[in-house]
Amino acid sequence: MVGFMKNADNHKPLLFINLLLMETPKVSWYHKLLHECRAMIDRLQLNEQDAELFQSFVTRVAKDQYKIGNSSGIRWAFRKQKENESGAPI
């Protein structure tokens, strides 16, 4: 279930959520993504079932891409280490 914090007057996310994200120096990429997802869900006025589906899709794709990028970075680091040890580009 996707939780929504809305202002009863205008159905927009409460201001303190935005302030919390701005004041917190190290908010993870995942939490920023969830915040943006929830803002988009609210803007599109999705029902709860569609909101869950949308957020699940976005977070799954983002996590998959993060894993791909992380493994690419690890391969690059190992390759760079071998280059430094051998003195020749690999």
> How many structural domains is the chain composed of?
1
Cα–Cα distance between 66 and 82 in angstroms, integer?
A: 24
Query: Is residue 72 situated within a structural domain?
Result: yes
Give the tens place of pLDDT for each residue, 38-47: 999 999 999 9
Overall average pLDDT of the 53-80 stretch: 85
pLDDT score recorded for residue 7 = 43
Query: Is residue 6 situated within a structural domain?
Result: no
pLDDT score recorded for residue 54 = 95
pLDDT score recorded for residue 90 = 57
Query: Is residue 5 situated within a structural domain?
Result: no
Burial of 62 (0-12, 13-18, 19+ CB in 10 A): middle
Query: Is residue 41 situated within a structural domain?
Result: yes
Cα–Cα distance between 59 and 65 in angstroms, integer?
A: 10
Cα–Cα distance between 72 and 49 in angstroms, integer?
A: 35
According to DSSP, the residues that pair with 13 across neighbouring strands are 6
Query: Is residue 4 situated within a structural domain?
Result: no
Query: Is residue 47 situated within a structural domain?
Result: yes
The token pair that represents 22 in the structure block: 């701005």
Provide the domain limits for residue 55.
Answer: 15-86
Query: Is residue 35 situated within a structural domain?
Result: yes
Query: Is residue 10 situated within a structural domain?
Result: no
Overall average pLDDT of the 6-34 stretch: 59
